[in-house]
Amino acid sequence: MSTDSPASGAGSATTPIVKLTDVNKHYGQLHVLQNINLEVSKGEVVVVLGPSGSGKSTLCRAINRLETIDSGSIEIDGQVLPEEGKMLAKLRADVGMVFQSFNLFAHKSILENVTLGPIKVKNMKKAEANKLALSLLERVGVANQKDKLPAQLSGGQQQRVAIARALAMRPKVMLFDEPTSALDPEMINEVLDTMVGLAKEGMTMIVVTHEMGFARKAADRVIFMADGQIVEQAAPEQFFTNPQSVRAKDFLGKLITH
């Protein structure tokens, strides 16, 4: 499909968008990522579950190179994430990230929050960036808020702006780290609906969430982490109805009784 020459290094249609090979990371004595092997195909939606402290956020942050790793490799669409430099900046632009806290620029308008990346990192002309931003804000349902400041929006609206901002970089994969856990309950669904829409459009996604409804509805695969390891992975129905490991059974049992 890609018209890029092989020299550009872009992966073929079958190249995983994200590939982790024997990834290890320590925080001092803590072996926070232990021999992680993971491939995510184009268009695949992977939900990452696991108890607090199991390494889910660290995994996301490593894929976006916000954290270094000690050994192993991480490839984005066939290209190894380098330690630093221009190539890192380019590959990082391929990975969109949405966090629990929205991290919007407080003193910039909603529109500017979305156009900033394309203008600064991709050298897009302002008019073109505005057009792109408006279409993305439209898509996440907040185009009518474009001239406001982030603080003038609800949490759910801000998180949808954060999603639009990440999409404006035309990422190959979107990482979500508990995108709804800081939201008031009535705002959770508007953000999840936006994410379900993205999944349906074929976006490759890795989603850390406690929203089991989302996992059942949108995930192709559930990954269960505990103590820095991928303990189990399966299709959502299979995982929820017939977890294999003691850790996963325990985790799901606690969810149901709460």
Ligand X SMILES: Nc1ncnc2c1ncn2[C@@H]1O[C@H](COP(=O)(O)OP(=O)(O)OP(=O)(O)O)[C@@H](O)[C@H]1O
188 binds ligand X (CB under 6 A): no
* Element at 119 (helix H, strand E): helix 110-120
Q: Which is nearer to ligand X, 67 or 193 (CB)?
A: 67
30 binds ligand X (CB under 6 A): yes
Q: Which is nearer to ligand X, 50 or 236 (CB)?
A: 50
Q: If DSSP codes are grouped into helix, strand and coil, which group holds residue 23?
A: strand
Q: Which is nearer to ligand X, 50 or 171 (CB)?
A: 50
Q: Which is nearer to Mg ion, 95 or 140 (CB)?
A: 95
55 binds ligand X (CB under 6 A): yes
Whole-angstrom Cα distance, residue 196 to residue 65? 26
27 binds ligand X (CB under 6 A): yes
Contacts with 221 (C-beta within 8 Å, 6 or more apart), sequence order = 44, 45, 46, 47, 233, 234, 235, 236
53 binds ligand X (CB under 6 A): yes
CA-wise closest residue to 20 among 82, 50, 62: 62
- Binding segment for ligand X (CB under 6 A), chosen from 1-9, 47-55, 185-193, 196-204, is 47-55
Q: Which of residues 42-71 bind Mg ion (CB under 5 A)?
A: 56-57
159 binds Mg ion (CB under 5 A): no
Cβ at position 27, least distance to Mg ion in Å = 13
* Token couple for 129: 């960036």
Q: Which is nearer to Mg ion, 57 or 145 (CB)?
A: 57
58 binds ligand X (CB under 6 A): yes
Binding site partner of 72, from ligand X, Mg ion, none, Cβ cut-off 5-8 A by kind: none
Identify whether the C-beta of residue 233 lies closer than 8 Å to the C-beta of residue 223.
Answer: yes
* Token couple for 91: 């590959």
The phi, psi pair for 30, rounded to 5°, reads: -80, 120
The phi, psi pair for 31, rounded to 5°, reads: -85, 85
| Site for ligand X, rule CB under 6 A | 27, 30, 32, 50, 52-58
